[in-house]
Amino acid sequence: MFMVNPKGDDYSIPFLLGVLNSSLIRAYWIDRFYDQRSTFPKIKGTYLERLPICNVDLDDPAEKRRHDLVVGMVEGMLRLHKELAGAKTPNEKETIQRQIAATDAQTDQLVYELYGLTNEEIRIVEEATRVS
C-alpha cells in the first residue's frame, strides 16, 4: 500500500522520494516521531501527513531546477542500487557504494537548498542523523 499520494501535479514521485529520504526529513522524524524501537518502528499515516514537505513553485526557474535535480538524483540512485545488486566483485561493489554515498550527499544538499537551511541548521541536521 502506498501511503503518500501527492495532491495535484506539483510533485513527482521521485521528487517526494528524494525529500522523504533526505537527512533533513530523517532528523525531523527522529525529533518528532521516533519511538526508539530497533525493529519495526511505528509509522502512522497521521505522522506522514505532518511531514513538512516544501512547496515548490515550478514556475520559478530556480525552484524548478532544484526540483528537477532532485528527481535526477533519485533516478540515478535507483539505477545505482540496481547496479549494486548485480555487482560481482568487492571492488565493483565498493565503487558503486561510494557513488551511492556521493549521490545521497548531493541530494541532501539540494533538499537543504529547497528548505533554505543555513550552515548552522545543516550542521544540526547532520549531527542528529549521525547519532541515530
| One-letter amino acid of 93 | K
DSSP state of 54: P
* Strand, helix or coil for residue 20: helix
Of the two residues 40 and 123, the one the predictor is more confident about is 123
Q: Tell me how many degrees the CA angle 66-115-8 measures, rounded to the nearest 5.
A: 65
- What are the structural domain ranges in the chain? 13-131
Round to whole Å and give the CA distance between 4 and 37. Answer: 22
- For the chain, what is the largest distance between any 2 Cα atoms, rounded to a whole number of angstroms? 45
Round to whole Å and give the CA distance between 104 and 117. Answer: 17
| Share above pLDDT 90 across residues of the chain, in percent, rounded to a whole number | 58
pLDDT (tens digit per residue) in 64-99: 999 999 999 999 999 999 999 999 999 999 999 999
pLDDT (tens digit per residue) in 103-128: 999 999 999 999 999 999 999 999 98
Q: Where are the beta strands (DSSP E) in 26-120?
A: none
pTM passes above 0.85: no
